[in-house]
């Protein structure tokens, strides 16, 4: 396999951007920008997210068994970059972003237009990532969405020509 062709082909898969959050009952909290996300089932509603196995968010989700996907809107590129770095909690903010605690205990970023809360129902650790499978237990939309909902989501390609993930 030609490594450059593999990289280019895999980079042709479009990705939305989300801030993945989780918190344990003991208060261990984490947040990270992620883009390997998909809906995996209609009934029950399931979401799959891939998370680096050596990341703190992986550790927190493994302990808490819950997570939230905070959907980034088209105008929130700066927020994506904020959570490319480890999150810092100060009171009810994560890296300066106000949050509420969701029904699962996971943080819900108040500035994001939508969120999906999940309970972990399965995981598969392969390579350098784990696939976490979560059953959707709550969801919300904070802003009116005009047009197609998927067009309101910030995409990785919206961050510029030179930023790629994958391949």
- Mean pLDDT along residues 136-164: 87
Q: Tell me: pLDDT of 163 over 70.
A: no
pLDDT value at residue 1: 87
Contact 102, 68 (CB under 8 A): yes
Q: What angle do CA 10, 134, 95 make, to 5 degrees?
A: 80
pLDDT value at residue 159: 84
Task: Report residue 167's pLDDT band, with 50, 70 and 90 as the boundaries.
Answer: low
Give residue 9's Cα distance to chain centre.
23
- DSSP for 21-53 reads EEE-TT--EEEEEE--EEEEETTTTEEEEEEET
- Mean pLDDT along residues 49-75: 97
pLDDT value at residue 164: 58
Contacts of 143 (CB under 8 A, 6+ apart): 73, 113, 114
| Cα atoms in the 13 Å half-sphere on the side-chain side of 167 | 15
Residue tagged 């129902």 (tokens): 121
Superfamily of domain 3-159: Electron Transport, Fmn-binding Protein; Chain A (2.30.110.10)
pLDDT value at residue 161: 73
Q: What is the pLDDT of residues 91-134, one digit of tens each?
A: 999 999 999 999 999 999 999 999 999 999 999 999 999 999 99
Q: What is the pLDDT of residues 6-52, one digit of tens each?
A: 887 877 778 899 999 999 999 999 999 999 999 999 999 999 999 99
């Amino acid at each position: 396999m030609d490594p450059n062709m593999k990289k280019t082909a895999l980079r042709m898969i479009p990705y939305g951007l989300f801030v993945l959050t989780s918190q344990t009952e003991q208060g261990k909290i984490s947040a990270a920008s992620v883009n390997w996300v998909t809906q995996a089932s209609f009934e029950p509603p399931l979401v799959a997210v891939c998370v680096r196995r050596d990341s703190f968010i992986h550790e927190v989700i493994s302990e808490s068994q819950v997570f939230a996907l905070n959907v980034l809107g088209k105008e929130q590129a700066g927020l994506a970059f904020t959570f490319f770095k480890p999150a810092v909690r100060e009171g009810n903010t994560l890296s300066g972003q106000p949050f509420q605690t969701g029904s699962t205990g996971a943080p819900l970023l108040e500035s994001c237009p939508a969120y999906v809360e999940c309970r972990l129902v399965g995981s598969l650790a392969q390579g350098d990532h784990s696939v976490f499978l979560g059953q959707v237990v709550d969801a919300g939309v904070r802003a009116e969405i005009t047009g197609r909902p998927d067009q309101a989501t910030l995409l990785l390609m919206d961050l510029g020509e030179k930023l790629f993930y994958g391949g």
